[in-house]
Structure 1
């Protein structure tokens, strides 16, 4: 689809419920959020509308939209129960789900909502004087994540709603960034860093859906961790920092869930499980493409290249520099020792995201004529931080410790 063309979509959804449709009133809107938290509407509030006999909403035309059909929006639905002439709001907060615009153009379920809208109730008749009052009770799914060492109700439970909400608040304020801690989850961390920067509203919604129901979807990227991932073992460490989780609550929910969803053979059930956390370039490409982004350029990203381990050349590094912009992400596979100063092996084992161009110490960009002995500086995302990780490495050292890369468009 030409992104410059304006398109009107037919917006509708259905509700899975055993309640007679005549008693249900809905209110619906479709939006995404800008970087200041303001809603950008594709469908403004429909106002209160009756649910149809087939448990579907009416069809509501969207505003004219210029976004590509891969762009994800948030569909928000509020419900009211009709009793006589009265209407009672029945949800503590509206139900929300992620859906790409293409989901309104096709019946293919892989493009559908990230979760179903369900309305389960029991209605009890009580008597106050001579006036019967009907109380509507709504049932909700319980949380999906629980550490075996400190389960729900334990004071040290790492997955309480309060801890999730607090961590989300800090993350959305960019106080910190995805951090794999002791786990081998640098690939998922790179992906979720890009998602956080591009679509913090989707990042928040994914955390919410995973915590509540243990599954979510962005575009056609389905994230559904297994039971063991949702109930991790050996989750805590006792070191100089105190007795704390090896991975923060929202990072385990997001990073481990994504990694576990892609593991067809091995469960990912502990931060100590290093092998099951390894991410290939093809994994990363798939995650970005299914979420709606495009791979604009790649170097050494085949599995054979990753095994053989050719290094990035000076020409490669200059080419990556040319792609640095607010509209792209440059994701690079390096040897972790290049930024951690730990170990002696030059092993291709760590995914990072460049956040600026590779430059000389005086701020000039490198060129294909730059001597490999020149000292350079580079700002990048790694281990939960965006910073200049060094200012004393030579260009030759960067080449020696860099193996593969991909340039990705923003996640829409």
Structure 2
């Protein structure tokens, strides 16, 4: 007796940057058949769903090579019980370790418009009433900031850590600019770095459907969030890049029980507490190592900052709540801003991480993510002693990298 093997994968074609498809909703039925005559079915496999990447299961069939030629394998593809593609021939092979023998089926999908045909393969449902609409420059206006091609261009640039200056996206990472969306920006920076696929899918689903699953959390922004006011200048410049408004404002708005987040000028409804960042990270499968209580009056002592510094490594993200005077020329007596520590707090003179023996009068420096960029605070002329530095620290959330 001889064994043959067969597996294949769907490769979608016809998709643009804002079109999405859940291949796990598609199924297939594979058959092993005689290689001649009427191609009599030798065995019909049970119906199975595709995996997330469009891969089939691994199939095996045993036959008597003395009685029949090497059998053929073919399959039909289904969507919601309706056959969309029939009699696709799948290459068979004899080595069960031959992972490079996958048959690639290039399947063309629709462009996301609606149809009444039962076997139409829908990527997404795009109604005539688009979800995100600017109050000043609505759908059809040449300065419409949420127009599809602009979102596609920004998303493509963001996934490559590039800029899209024509769309007022002048930083490579999530950027709240002058809005109060620093909390969502800090979390989405981590998501973009660790799982760009999930970040991309999250933005696409929000633009297409007005809702998205962020891991186990359903994000469903309010009408006000989807129709922002005071969002664009008369020139068309956006106060927050369009993909950042879609992703960050939706996330912030989801946390609000009473107040909608509907403008970059909203401050109170845009504030983020440590609980929210911990919830977002947990929803995408990250393990929360530490979450501080919210304190609006007491900054951290040196010992606690040194302890926090020990978690800066490739395995963790350290989101820190600060008074933004740490990295700017303004000052406030309460915490005002979230940043991500991307490097260790160091002694400027020795370039070594601070520790329990570091003098409180030592000048220190720190690499951080904030306002869409990664930079050292010394680049902005900010020179702090360790003692003064700690006066700006009010809280933190430590979570493992998102896988």
User: In structure 2, what is the Cα distance between the partners aligned to 1:260 and 1:120?
Assistant: 29
Residue 141, structure 1, aligned to residue 126, structure 2:
yes
Conservation of the 8 A alpha-carbon contact between 1:26 and 1:51: no
1:267 to partner: Cα distance: 0.7
Displacement after TM superposition at 1:320 (Å): 1.6
Contact 1:123/1:137 (CA < 8 Å) preserved in 2?
Answer: no
SS in 2 for 1:325: coil
Change (3 A) 1:281 1:407: same
2:255 counterpart residue number: 262
Partner in structure 2 of residue 380 of structure 1: 368
Q: Retained in 1: the 8 A contact 2:78–2:85?
A: no
| Structure 1 residue aligned with 2:394 | 403
Q: What is the CA-CA distance between 1:92 and the residue it aligns to? A: 2.8
- Deviation string, structure 1 residues 172-195 (Cα, Å, up to 9, x no partner): 112311111221111000110010
How far apart in 1 are the matches of 2:290 and 2:272? 19
1:67 aligns to what?
none
Q: How does 1:12-27 map to 2 (within 5 A)?
A: 13-14=24-25
- TM-score in terms of structure 1 length: 0.69
* Residue in 1 that maps onto 2:320: 332
Deviation at 1:279, TM superposition (A): 0.5
Counterparts of 1:44-193 in structure 2 under 5 Å? Answer: 49-51=76-78, 55=80, 80=84, 91-92=109-110, 121-123=115-117, 140-142=125-127, 143-175=130-162, 176-193=172-189
Structure 1 residues without counterparts, runs of 5 or longer: 1-10, 16-24, 32-40, 58-78, 96-118, 125-134
Name the SS for the 2:356 alignment partner.
Answer: coil
CA distance in 1, matches of 2:273, 2:121: 47
Q: 2:313, 2:75 → 1: CA distance?
A: 44
Deviation at 1:329, TM superposition (A): 0.3
Q: Which runs of 5+ in 2 are unaligned?
A: 1-21, 27-46, 60-73, 88-105, 163-171
Partner of 1:51, secondary structure, is strand
SS at match of 1:145: coil
**CA distance in 1 between partners of 2:24 and 2:327 (Å):** 48
State the 4+ residue runs in structure 1 displaced beyond 4 angstroms.
Answer: 11-15, 41-48, 135-139
| Structure (1 or 2) with the larger CA radius of gyration | 2
- Please, which of 240, 248, 273 is the counterpart of residue 266 of structure 2? 273
* CA distance 1:43–1:376, change in 2 (3 Å): farther
User: Residue 223 of structure 1 contacts residue 258 of structure 1 at CA under 8 Å; is this kept in 2?
Assistant: yes
Sort the Cα spacing of 1:156 and 1:45 in 2 relative to 1 into closer, same or farther, 3 A: farther
What RMSD in Å do the two structures reach over aligned CA positions?
A: 3.2
Return the alpha-carbon distance in structure 2 between the equivalents of residues 43 and 136 of structure 1: 21
CA–CA distance in 1 between the matches of 2:343 and 2:366?
7
Q: 2 CA distance for matches of 1:30 and 1:385?
A: 32
| 1:228-239 matched pairs, under 5 angstroms | 228-237=224-233
| 1:91 CA displacement | 2.1
- The 1-side partners of 2:326 and 2:218 are apart by 33
